[in-house]
Amino acid sequence: MYKLYSMQRSGNSYKVRLALALLNTPYEAIEVDILRGESRTPEFLAKNPSGQVPLLEVEEGRYLAESNAILWYVAGGTPLAPESKIERAEALQWMFFEQHALEPNIGAAYFWLSLVRGGRDLQTHALEDWMERGYAALQVMENHLKTARFFAADQLTVADIALYGYTHLADRCDFDLATFPAVRAWLRRVEQVPGFVAMDWRPETEIDDTADVAAGA
């Protein structure tokens, strides 16, 4: 069984939990609160030197980091991974877009405005850039979704999961989706897929990584 080290309120972590839920794949969930430094203990850094979540233990002692790499791994051989060469490339295209255009802006705004106490004051200088670039990314998505139901293969794929992770949080960090009707309709389509779980959903098998925190304190 997989072990997934993730943070409940992290959009990147949620992507993986959502994919595993949609695939009905069992796993052991281990909560790691990066705001408390739990990803910076010696024990966790031995697993992932970048000190980030999510992190998937695919077999004993073998770990896979980076949310979209994990998505691609768990989706292999399932309907979430397109079959044709061009559709696979199109899915990857949108996953790369998510990491360079969406996550660094909407994801950063969500982290600092919604998760970090006093984060708005700490990041006043960056907020304007995040908003400008985040809205630009949403417009690219809107333009695509005007003529498409999903982002690749005309069906839900890992590309949609990757993009959904932070897009559905946009209204929690000052972004207004009122002028993006196609994006809002797509969000509803994703949420209507059988097996969908919300960000606050927790699997039955979950433990807290308190032992590592104590050891690293």
In tens, the pLDDT along 7-22 reads: 999 999 999 999 999 9
Average pLDDT over residues 136-150: 98
In tens, the pLDDT along 57-105 reads: 999 999 999 999 999 999 999 999 999 999 999 999 999 999 999 999 9
Question: What whole-number percentage of the chain has pLDDT above 90?
Answer: 89
The pLDDT, as a whole number, for residue 205 is 55
In tens, the pLDDT along 113-125 reads: 999 989 988 898 8
In tens, the pLDDT along 164-186 reads: 999 999 999 999 999 999 999 99
Q: At 96, which amino acid appears? A: F
Q: What does the mean pLDDT of the chain come to?
A: 93
Nearest alpha carbon to residue 109 among 81, 83, 128: 128
User: What is d(CA 164, CA 183) in angstroms, rounded to the nearest whole number?
Assistant: 10
Q: What are phi and psi of 45, to 5 degrees?
A: -65, -25
